[in-house]
Amino acid sequence: MLRAPLPFITALLAAGLLAGCSSTPEDKTAGWSPNRIYSEAKDELGSGAFDKAVPLLEKLEGRAAGTPLAQQAQLDKAYAQYKGGEKAQAIATLDRFIKLHPASPALDYALYLKGLVNFNDNLGLFSWVSQQDLSERDQKAAKDSFESLSELVTRFPDSRYAKDARQRMTYIVNSLAQYEVHVARYYYERGAYVAAIGRAQSALADYQGVPALEEALYILMQSYDALGMTQLRDDTRRVMEASYPQGALAKGGLKAKSDPWWKFW
């Protein structure tokens, strides 16, 4: 069996090591100050190059550790991850910030951004283009968003983000209520009247003053009627007529329902 000469093997190994070293990406920020890194990262954010901003901000976190600039880098990184579609990473970054900096003056923004990430993850304002009712989606993100926004307005009622947070909370509550009614309607249309009654009652018990309750009452009334529960049907009709004297559902049924409330938010 032929063997390669030892000097030849050594030369090959050396060449491989050199090739490996040459393939290591050069750190262009090696001689940069923290302020320059931040400036470059902001330029990338401003141009929408979120994937380029994230690694710069990660370097800044390390080099400016223990300073307000490092905290700003974390928040900007979370924003870049959110805008770049990396929503799970954005939430993880924000959770880390909230845990490490409970007394930060930017804590209200961190809570707001966390609420916004989950809000847009499940409640995108323009999903009506696809004709999908927001209430038909999984509601976990909506509940997570509400929790973050609620903490914001409770702890920082005068925050610059509080007004928008309250509006989004109202929107989320409407969505969650409509979700219950959507499920109730699903059961009702398939003849599962007991299940429909249960979901409609849940909406009525858990939410107050939201648009979905008119439909919840209508489904409840119709389900009672289908089951021959005339007394409960009539009681529900009286409540519905008193609560919604100009309501179209009592006259025209579900087909008379107007455009979903969320199209006008």
Q: DSSP string spanning 109-148? A: HHHHHHHHHHHHHH--TTGGGGT--GGGS--HHHHHHHHH
Q: What is the pLDDT of residues 183-228, one digit of tens each?
A: 999 999 999 999 999 999 999 999 988 999 999 999 999 999 999 9
Instruction: Enter the tokens of residue 228.
Output: 């021959």
The model's pTM: 0.75
Q: State mean pLDDT over 153-181.
A: 94
What letter would DSSP give residue 161? T
Spatial separation of the C-alpha atoms in residues 144 and 140, rounded to whole Å: 6
Q: State mean pLDDT over 129-155.
A: 76
**Crossing angle of helices 162-189/140-155, nearest 10°?**
150
